[in-house]
Amino acid sequence: MKPHLLQNEELKELIAKIPGWEIISNHLEREFNFGDFIEAFSFMTKIALICEKYNHHPNWENVYSKVIIKLSTHDLGGITNLDQKIASEINEIFEK
């Protein structure tokens, strides 16, 4: 997938497509909460595999049962369709 920056209209429509994510200063961000560290880190492991597959990696942090994920495409300076795709796949994993 060749990433392209999402433009105004696309950004407006974006949030409806990836519930839970917010646009915060040029990146997508969502906080996920789990029952404990094992659940949180298992979630991170699944995401790591997806991100490696797309060769597109998040800025993310974890404290115990909380995971905060930030997605953007540095090379293009903003949010792209690739960020959207990965955010969508992360939501699918979370909902399972």
Identify which of residues 46 and 85 has a Cβ nearer to its own copies in the complex: 46
Pick 8 or 55: Cβ nearer its own copies: 55
Cα–Cα distance, 93 to 13 (Å, whole number): 22
Helices 8-17 and 81-95: crossing angle in degrees, nearest 10, is: 10
What is the nearest approach in angstroms of its own copies to the Cβ of residue 38?
A: 6
Positions touching its own copies (CB under 8 A) are 37-38, 41, 44-45, 48, 51-52, 57-64
For 56: left if phi > 0, alpha if psi spans -120 to 50, otherwise beta; the answer is beta
By beta-carbon proximity to its own copies, the closer residue of 1 and 37 is 37
